[in-house]
Amino acid sequence: MIISKKSVVFILGTAFFIYLSIMMLYTYLPLYLKFLGVPIPIVTLTMTFAMSTFFIFPPLLGRYSDKLQNRIYFIFIGSVGMLITLIFLLFTNNFIILNILLFIFGFFTSSLTIILTLYSELVQNDQKWISYYNSICSLGSFIGVLIGGMMIDIFRVENLFLFILINFMLSIIFIVFIRENRQLILDYNKKVPEYIEKKVIDNNPEEDNNISKSIYYSLLFRNFGIIPILNILVIIMSFYISSNTEIALLVGINPLFQFFIMLLLGKILNQKNIKAFMLLGYCLSVIVIVGYIISVDFWGFLTFQVIVSLSYSMFWMATIVYIAQNSTPINKGRLMGYATTSVFAGTTIGGLFFSLLLTVFHSNYYISMLFMIIFPAISILITAFLFKLPEKKVI
């Protein structure tokens, strides 16, 4: 049973345009910074700084939304804040002001990500419907990368923020029609086991012991190793491929494949195979980094973009379903926030480490990338030996 089909549909529409806009920004921001004349190691630092908000704010905002038992306020604040920040970004070429605005943009984006928590509550943690959400996000990311590359080829990269603003405004149309239905969500949870009912009624902030903390460390180390490379992948591809449209296709094929893979995973994921999919996803992450080092043409990059799609879809879908099905309304926002924080803590710290490697090795990407293989390998070990499934399924 879905608590509100209309709100679910509007959330899916919102997610599509949000991820279209965000993917367009973070994919082509390195090219925009390169256009401004920013040195490559500083480009990596800027990307790291911009994404640092995603590990600082999500657990704080998630905890506060759990306490208030309200998600929609955070969604509205995040969307309006992102819109205003994008308008300011249109009118600045100053590198310092640009970084400040990107940090503010990240804060409001963190607030808006609570939309996934509300969605999982409205669909009662159903893995099939969660797969629809992730697939829509992936489809939006694909379209964003593809349109962004085409627009840059036609109108040049200096108009990047205008493209993003126009697309993001479409998400506002969907957001205004979303309704939270908080009482229905709480009423549903009163029907599940008695100990959950007590937690919901008392609003007790006690940690949910059904969640294995190892998932957060696995997410951190995987993203430590691979995301800093993905952040400058368009620059690496540009060494071998001259067309921005072809580069856009290569980057965009990643979320496009994710769209179909996540739909499939929504049908086959269960408590018995969640750990296996996490492990396989992290193993493929190691292979991907090796692949980016040896790729020298369109087809080489295409092959490993398909593999990175499989990697991300498997470990992320398995992790989100695991959290959703083993949490309640009083801790779901916080636990989802911890997952987001783990991803971007790894991204931020890994970005700083990768920048240091690029500096030490005089911007030699390939030697620097070799060191990054270690970290998704650590995720494999953590998941293999420390991840435990709950003895009793919560929901």
Tally of domains in the chain: 1
Q: Is residue 393 part of a domain?
A: no
Lowest mean pLDDT among 197-201, 342-346, 363-367: 197-201
Give residue for tokens 């695991």: 322
Each residue of 81-121: pLDDT tens digit? 999 999 999 998 888 999 999 999 999 999 998 999 999 98
Residue 88 belongs to some domain of the structure: yes
Residue 174 lies in a domain: yes
Whether 348 maps to a domain, the answer reads: yes
DSSP 269-299: --TTTHHHHHHHHHHHHHHHHHHHHH--SHH
d(CA 355, CA 367): 12
Query: Can you give the pLDDT at residue 315?
Result: 93
**Rounded (5°) CA angle 244-248-253:** 155
- Tell me the CA distances in angstroms from 361 to 80, 276, 331, 352, 374, one per residue in order: 42, 37, 44, 14, 18
C-alpha pair distances (Å), 23 with each of 140, 279, 347, 372, 383 = 8, 26, 15, 23, 28
Q: Tell whether pTM > 0.85.
A: no
Residues above pLDDT 70, as percent of the chain: 93
- Is 395 domain-assigned? no
What the block records as the tokens of 314 is 């498997």
pLDDT in tens, 274-287: 999 999 999 999 99
* Residue 328 clears pLDDT 60, i.e. is over it: yes
Find the CATH number of the domain harbouring 110. 1.20.1250.20
Range of the domain at 190: 5-386
Identify whether the C-beta of residue 130 lies closer than 8 Å to the C-beta of residue 320: yes
Is 161 inside any structural domain? yes
Using the predicted structure, report yes or no on whether residue 232 has a pLDDT greater than 90.
Answer: no
